[in-house]
Structure 1
Amino acid sequence: MKNNISLRDGAKYFSTLLWSAAFALLLSGCGGGSSGSSASNLPAFPLDPASARALVGGAALDQTPAQIGTRLNTLHQAANSLLIGDNHFFFADGTTTRVATTCTGGSCTTSGGGESLTIALADLDFASTTDNEYQSVMTDRGVSLVQGRARQPTSGVSGGQTDTLGYGGWLDHSFFFVQASEQTAPMADPFTVGYGVSIGNAPGTNPAATGGATWTGVMVGGDVSDTASRGNGIQGDAEIDIDNFANPDVDIRFTNIYDLDSGSTRGDMSWDDIAVTGGAFATGSGTNQIQGEFYGPDHEEVGGVFERNDVLGAFGAQR
């Protein structure tokens, strides 16, 4: 990896980001207000909830930070599956690098530079409100959406600081988010890293019924392009279809996609005929990939992580 940044250094962002589970979006340029923070040292929330709701047509969500933490912790405790997308590092000199991630069951391994780092569900803590805070944003298409922020010393770096900002949503058996963290000086080469996450209770089986079904929900993401819009937040509608349960494959559509910073629209994304095996599906690699799982005892929900059109993110939907 660049400038001798290794996965041992990457462990610093995992330990500082995922420990607090700040629901996070790759949003660096929004300028939303803090809305009554109880911890004045935290970075400002990137989104203005009212503006975001007006843009995508969402409704207000009335959840306190404590209620949000409790809800996420409950879902986390019931979960048996963890998906983390590839990790994108953005360095202060403008260069970038990608580190691939593979997931099995309740753990994911990030590998690069001859090293690897494994994160398991048990490593995560979604209940803690120390040094992090959540804020309600909206409900949209049956998904509750919140943003989070966190700041703490960077593990192993004297005087270092890690700022986390983000966005994501939950359903009854799963939740998803896209997260970014900035590691600042006095590191020799400060960087930001972003990735999408999906967590839920996966039965590990294909939906068993006749006919087909549609799951509808939301996708969230962050711009990872080499342009001025890098870091902008993205939100759109998600629709996942199975035409024939007897021979299941999924068609995925992300539509009505908005850049939450600029207010502009983005192009639709779609993947077709992805085989479903053991309740999971995946296709593609690198800059065009998606993977997901069905969640809930009756496969009521589906979620996953993706990258396409210079956007990395996550999605969740319900039948």
Structure 2
Amino acid sequence: MRVGIKQVAERAGVSATTVSHVVNKTRYVSPEVEKRVNDAIKELNYTPNIMARGLRTNTVKTVAVIVQEASTPFFSRVVDEISDVLYKEGYSLLLCTTRSKVNDELNVVRSMLQQQVCGIILAPQQMDFDYRTLCPSKDFPLVFIDCKTKFVPCNAVTCDNYQASYNAIKALIQKGHTNIGYIYSSRNYELSTGRDRFQGYLDALADSGLARDEKIIVGREQQTFENGYDAMKQLLQEKKATACFVAENPMAQGVFKCLMDYKKRIPEEMAMICYDDFEWSQLTVPTISAIRQPMKEMGRKAAELLLKKIGDSDAQCENIILKSEFILRESC
């Protein structure tokens, strides 16, 4: 038989209302009473019926987090931090992936709204679409992460992709490189992150008096290991670039493998900088210079913004831009 709140109250020697306050954190309860209630919950293996509670109070404490690929190191770490913040405040989380497909993204957003989530954290895939048109009201708690749209005002937490790329290219130029290749995902170029990184690359060249060379700008549709390998192979065939900037980390691993297979010395024959700094960058020989994004801070700030909007529908929108760090290692 399913254990209910009344059985917990009887075991703890308190009222059902007190148990409710402990579970929902809706009112102060003395530490001694709170411990008795929590001990009773543990002994009876009581699980609150969150959906039923939400229907009674019209306050379902569930948040949807929607990203392109939850399995990537970047999004997995961002989502981990989001969940830590939300769980501490008594919220549950529904994690959805869109497989980087626009139609899937819109369907997922609509589905989450139909399930009456109290807020959405979204990594948007369309710069020209106003996601607020899908929401039940203009004040619905919605926070963008990683990417942003052209529609303002909105709550968003992103990184300064432009400046990070600009600084990385400048670092290569200061080391004497004048032919710097650029490897990227054309699908990501459709997002604000991809466009900002590319513009930082172009402006760093222009500010140093270097011309854009289309032959050493190599794009592939998806950011995969295989496409990174293939893109670097094409770059080597041009026999011009002495350095390369890889705008997506999954491609960087393929780039490195290609350089190893073709016995190219790093950085003597090809210097290399990649976006995002994960553990593998420090395990290679040579170690890889990288741009480190504050993934945990992004997740934490996004969750805090969402909770603020949930608590106050009139709260002003905030556009938070975080700084990334350039990690100089042996590859350049």
TM superposition score normalised by structure 2: 0.27
- Larger strand proportion of the pair: 1
- Larger helix proportion of the pair: 2
| Structure with greater contact order relative to length (CA < 8 Å, sep ≥ 6) | 1
